[in-house]
Structure 1
Amino acid sequence: MAFVSRILFAALAGCLALDIAAAAEAPVAYKLSPGDTVEIGIASIAERTQRAIVQMDGSIALPEFGMIPVGGLTPAELQTRMEAVLPTKIVHQRLPDGREQMIVIKPSDVTAVIAEYRPIYVTGDVLTPGQQTYRPLMTVRQAIAVAGGFSLLRSRASQSGPDPVDLRRDYESIWGDYIRDYFHGARIRAELQNQAEFDMQPPQGSPLS
């Protein structure tokens, strides 16, 4: 079963690698989804940089601005959305002398970027399966490498029976011994019958023919 799993996993990785190669030829912009973390900055307000996680409904919560839908947006669209939404709000800032000041936000003051990407999960016969940090343009091969690469020991430890690779090797080794003895016997019979030659065809069913 583990041997089959490795084959299926390798096939899946190959398909994904082809998909990623095709995507490299025609890049598709990353789109925000639940689990991504965005960072919103306002240049006109000192120390006003906020991080927010995209919720399951595709929105982010920003103090004084409320819930803002961003799910499915590309980084460029996120910037445009924030430039459109934030300037419609009046922000109050308390000055060092205790007075309160109203700040008018201009679109050019707003910055919006993806601070952290939602994690990916690598499973199968890798050294450290589980959650891994995603990076832009990461390939399947790179994701497997981050997870420690393929682990033969883990594969063998997780299987319920003998390793099919070992069984196949033992099977062919036994057949090799049998064929050697088979031809040795055929040669002796030919000598006893004063025959110059004997049948060199391997026995029926041999996997080594």
Structure 2
Amino acid sequence: MKTHTLVALLLGLIITLVNSTLSTAQEINDYRLATEDQISVTVFNEPDLNLVEVRISASGTISMPLLGQVSIADLTVTEVENKLTKLLLQGYLKKPNLTVTINEYRPFYIGGEVREPGSYPFRQGLTVQKAIAIAGGFTERASKSAISMVNEKEERNIQQAKLVDGVMPGDVITISESFF
């Protein structure tokens, strides 16, 4: 009986982790660019048009050779590629072929009862537990179950977070103080 219970618990944990990883992977594919993200634009056979490690400005734009300021905030990588291709087709290039890559995501933020609160670079596969470790771990006063997370897009939607929950760029994690 105990073996069956242990196997069932392990299977449940594995399914939870797989579902969490799959939803985070989908969120990265649907990721919308914003201020503080750093990208590169490679225009094949046109090295003068390439951008290497450019940060998206506070106004949500990048400065492209020939095109000037191009607004790319709140677009996915695919949408940016399509937009730049269309703009380059307007009298600049006959068959533009380009790729956009994200070099660095905007940071996530962690505060409250962690040893080193602050902003940290986002990495794919980041969970609340990993974010806490990056911030030096819990303080002695931390409540390990009272963790809240606010998604950048849903600023007013504070949700209770679990250690296995995925973290996205711009998210704000707060570790509450334990009262016991």
Aligned position for 1:45: 46
CA RMSD of aligned residues (A): 3.2
Q: What residue ranges of structure 1 are gaps of 5+ in the alignment?
A: 1-19, 91-103, 156-162, 166-209
Deviates more, 1:52-61 or 1:40-49: 40-49
Of the candidates 95, 110, 120, which is equivalent to residue 132 of structure 1?
120
Partner of residue 107, structure 1: 96
Unaligned segments of structure 2, at least 5 residues = 1-18, 144-177
The SS at the match of 1:113 is: strand
Residue number in structure 2 paired with 1:88: 90
2:131 aligned with 1:143, yes or no? yes
Partner of 2:162: none
Q: Residues 48-67 of structure 1: matches in 2 within 5 Å?
A: 48-50=49-51, 51-67=53-69
Structure 2 matches for 1:173-192, cutoff 5 A? none
Distance 1:25 1:41, change over 3 A: closer
Q: Please name the residue that 2:78 is paired with.
A: 76
Distance 2:91 2:41 in 1: 15
Check conservation: 1:42, 1:111, Cα contact below 8 A: yes
Relative to the length of structure 1, the TM-score reads 0.50
Q: Aligned partners of 1:46 and 1:106: how far apart in 2?
A: 15
Structure 1 residue 62 displacement after superposition:
2.0
Change (3 A) 1:115 1:25: closer
Contact 1:65 1:89 in 2 (8 A): no
What is residue 192 of structure 1 aligned with on the other side? none
The alignment of Structure 1 onto Structure 2 pairs a total of residues equal to 127
Change (3 A) 1:44 1:143: same
Which protein has the bigger helix share? 1
Cα distance between partner residues in 2 of 1:133 and 1:55:
17
Q: Is the 8 A contact 1:52 1:62 kept in 2?
A: no
1:79–1:113 Cα contact (<8 Å) kept: no
> Alignment partner for residue 117 of structure 1, among 102, 105, 113?
105
Matched-pair contact (CA < 8 Å) for 1:31–1:74: yes
Flag the 1:63–1:107 CA change in 2: closer, same or farther, 3 A: closer
Determine if contact 2:37/2:104 at 8 Å carries over to the other structure.
yes
